[in-house]
Amino acid sequence: MRALLIHHDHLSFAGPVGERLTDRGFDLEERVVVSAEHHHTPDVEFDYPDPLDWDLIIPMGSPWSVNDPGVASWVTPELAMLDKAHAAGVPILGICFGGQALAAALGGAVERAPRPEMGWVDVETDDPSLVASGPWFQFHYDRWRLPPGAVEIARNAVSSQAFVLGRSMGLQFHPEITPTELESWLTHGGDAHMRAEGVDPEAVLEEVRRTEADSARRTHALVDAFLAQVAARAR
């Protein structure tokens, strides 16, 4: 089985999501849309592969918005690729930006959230066997509007947190988070973003370190549930 992980920048990693997929027999191919040298000029062209060549597609997070005109050069073709994959029954697991992109590709929309969410955030769930209740790690300013026919699985007061449509699932949070990933975000602007919102980045990083093992276990369970309950649905 082949899984395509789409990293929109060089600061995102597969973490325990990738670990669990490998455990479950997937061969991972990870592709970076915006390379490190273009991080401050992200209006690049990117040649997406044919999604029908894959058994699973995972679009990951991004420091940019789906609605940012400065990245339309690669967001627009990504939405088309996700729509084609979904229509063909290729399972998709969208994470944060990836979940927002999935929602937009399937007829929903992306909008600014009433306030950003940063750090560990509690989440209400209608199906704890699929998406466990919080806290889950968050770092986002936008939120999605659900696409037609989607079933919302989890939410909080700020935004919808998980939805399922066919063999696809969108997540607003970051189950892949690790101390290494968060350190990379903080070093490249995340520290200032958190402090601007009154969030202590050092305290958040310490909590990510303290809960790393438990977080990985919960993420492994989430991946297992997605594969069993969503990706395994009939086309």
Domains of the chain: 2-177+213-231 (3.40.50.880)
Tokens coding 40: 């401050």
Tokens coding 153: 């699985």
135: cis peptide before it, omega within 30°?
A: yes
Q: Annotated catalytic, 40?
A: no
**Cα four-point dihedral sign 56, 74, 42, 163:** negative
d(CA 117, CA 122): 11
State pLDDT tens for residues 172-183. Answer: 999 999 999 999
**pLDDT score for 51:** 97
**pLDDT score for 72:** 97
| Catalytic choice (176, 181, 207, 220) | 176
| Catalytic choice (86, 174, 207, 220) | 174
CB 141 within 8 A of CB 127: no
d(CA 226, CA 118): 24
Q: Annotated catalytic, 96?
A: yes
Compute how many other C-beta atoms are within 10 angstroms of the C-beta atom of residue 152. 14
Q: Annotated catalytic, 78?
A: no
DSSP conformation letters of 108-149? -EEEEEEEEEEEEE--EES-TTTS--S-EEEEEEEEEEPPTT
Q: How far is CA 157 from the centre of its chain?
A: 19
Q: Which of the four pLDDT bands, split at 50, 70 and 90, describes residue 129?
A: very high
Query: CB-side exposure of 166: number of CA atoms within 13 Å?
Result: 17
Tokens coding 186: 């903080």
CB 143 within 8 A of CB 100: yes
Query: How does the average pLDDT of the chain come out, rounded?
Result: 97
Compute how many other C-beta atoms are within 10 angstroms of the C-beta atom of residue 197. 13
Q: Which of the four pLDDT bands, split at 50, 70 and 90, describes residue 134?
A: confident
pLDDT at 234 over 90: no
Using alpha carbons, select from 39, 224, 208 the residue that is nearest to residue 138.
208
| Catalytic choice (8, 96, 117, 207) | 96
SS3 216: helix
| Token pair 């690729």: residue | 81
pLDDT at 194 over 90: yes
